[in-house]
Amino acid sequence: MSDALPRVTVIGAGYWGPNLIRNFHELGALASVCDLDPAKLASIRERFGKIETTTDLDLVLADPSIEAVAIATPAQTHHALAMRALKAGKHVMVEKPLTLAVAESEELVAPAAALNRVLMVGHIQQFNPAAEALFKLVDDGTLGDIVHIECRRLDLGKLRSHENVFWSFAPHDIAFILSLAGGAYPEQVTAHGSAILQPGIHDTVHADLRFPTFSAHIHVSWLHPEKQHQTVVVGTKQMAIFSDTWPEGRLWYGEEPLAQGKLKLIDKGFDRLGDTLRVRSGGENLVPYTPAEPLKAELRHFLHCVRTGDKPRTDGQTGLNVVRILSAVDAALAMRP
């Protein structure tokens, strides 16, 4: 196994692509950038300096020195581009969602496994250091057994005409819940919502996911006056709130920087005394964590998996399960116009 970083080409230099380009470049893993628009490539060269760019994907896929590609193009192109890359022997990272259809996602997961290629989906929230601290609270038993998860992702916009708010906002929350579920898939998915601004395109959605040992609720809306990105995890021992919209502060212990402000551990719940349930209301503590840029941590994880063959935290199967739940919610919404 080589110690050298894999060389990665970023496909797509539009909205999200420049963020991938910057981070892969800073990590020393960027091989080139591919986009059909020469003007976007010119902008990338102007911004980042001496970076190889091309409009010809075939050249990228034929280059044996390029081990992996990161796809940041419109979701409707993900299936075709990822399939071409896998068949060319490349490891693949795809921004969420993996595809727009369950069948298309299944068609990517199978060849990735057969070809022993890494297929990873970009669910950046998993790599937020406060979120990682929450995972640790679950793993080490601090919260006890999970009994309920509630996610809220609310904002005023960004309105989209090609997808509803659940497809736009919920993939990160679904992936987060699936991680906390330890790979379990919900036994039941139900949903209701409202399409107010554009006929047939839901602006607000409430979805319930029933797992074997806990329940989860997701509320998303782009018709809300305040931005909220919050996940509440209710355990049998304690509760925790992770909020990406709470302000973050810095702490210093010796020379080691720490952050706090986005994760709160709460000693509240119910204690059972015989047949009686009594409210337990203890203290609250902000949980410290080591600050880091989530995207850089995510890309570093992808590079590690390419080099070692380790399974990505947000692998193709996770991406497929996210698309399955998105599609199940669509089906539930269609039954309740």
Give the CA count within 13 Å in the CB-facing half-sphere of 233: 30
Smallest CA-to-CA distance from 232 within 270, 210, 265, 207 is with: 265
Same structural domain for residues 25 and 67? yes
The Cα–Cα gap between 132 and 165 comes to 26
Same structural domain for residues 247 and 286? yes
Is residue 302 included in any domain, yes or no? no
The answer to whether 285 and 265 are in contact (CB under 8 A) is yes
Number of domains forming the structure of the chain: 2
Is residue 262 included in any domain, yes or no? yes
- What the block records as the tokens of 175 is 């992936």
Is residue 152 included in any domain, yes or no? yes
The Cα–Cα gap between 73 and 98 comes to 11
Mean pLDDT of 163-167: 96
The answer to whether 62 and 32 are in contact (CB under 8 A) is no
**In the listed set 84, 117, 150, which residue is the last one of a domain according to the structure?**
117
Tell me, what's the pLDDT at 161?
A: 86
The answer to whether 219 and 203 are in contact (CB under 8 A) is no
Same structural domain for residues 148 and 206? yes
Same structural domain for residues 95 and 232? no
Same structural domain for residues 53 and 177? no
Tell me, what's the pLDDT at 5?
A: 94
**In the listed set 117, 144, 164, which residue is the last one of a domain according to the structure?**
117
Same structural domain for residues 99 and 211? no
Same structural domain for residues 95 and 135? no
Is residue 316 included in any domain, yes or no? no
Tell me, what's the pLDDT at 1?
A: 54
Provide the pLDDT confidence category of residue 325 given band limits of 50, 70 and 90: very high
Mean pLDDT of 92-98: 98
Is residue 85 included in any domain, yes or no? yes
Q: What is the CATH number of the domain that holds 87?
A: 3.40.50.720
Mean pLDDT of 186-200: 96
User: 316-334 and 171-180 helices cross at what angle (nearest 10)?
Assistant: 120
Is pLDDT of 65 > 70? yes
Same structural domain for residues 43 and 96? yes
Provide the pLDDT confidence category of residue 337 given band limits of 50, 70 and 90: low
Is pLDDT of 3 > 80? no
Q: Has this prediction a pTM greater than 0.85? A: yes
Same structural domain for residues 81 and 161? no
Is pLDDT of 250 > 80? no
**In the listed set 117, 137, 169, which residue is the last one of a domain according to the structure?**
117
Q: What is the CATH number of the domain that holds 158?
A: 3.30.360.10
The Cα–Cα gap between 136 and 237 comes to 15
Backbone angles phi, psi at 50, to 5 degrees: -75, 85
The answer to whether 82 and 52 are in contact (CB under 8 A) is no
Provide the pLDDT confidence category of residue 258 given band limits of 50, 70 and 90: confident
Query: Residue 36 pairs with which residues in a beta bridge?
Result: none
Same structural domain for residues 272 and 141? yes
249 Cβ contact partners less than 8 Å away, ≥ 6 residues apart: 259, 260, 261
Is residue 132 included in any domain, yes or no? yes
Q: How high is the mean pLDDT of the chain?
A: 94
Mean pLDDT of 188-208: 97
Same structural domain for residues 249 and 135? yes
pLDDT tens digit sequence for 267-279:
988 888 888 888 8
Same structural domain for residues 82 and 145? no
231 Cβ contact partners less than 8 Å away, ≥ 6 residues apart: 134, 149, 150, 151, 152, 173, 176, 241, 242, 243
pLDDT tens digit sequence for 34-64:
999 999 999 999 999 889 999 999 999 999 9
pLDDT tens digit sequence for 102-113:
999 999 999 999
| Lowest pLDDT segment from 44-58, 178-192, 279-293 | 279-293
Is residue 2 included in any domain, yes or no? no
The Cα–Cα gap between 111 and 268 comes to 47
Structural domain harbouring 30: 8-117
The answer to whether 137 and 130 are in contact (CB under 8 A) is no
Show the CA angle centred on residue 100, arms to residues 95 and 105, nearest 5°: 80
Is residue 317 included in any domain, yes or no? no
- What the block records as the tokens of 1 is 């196994």
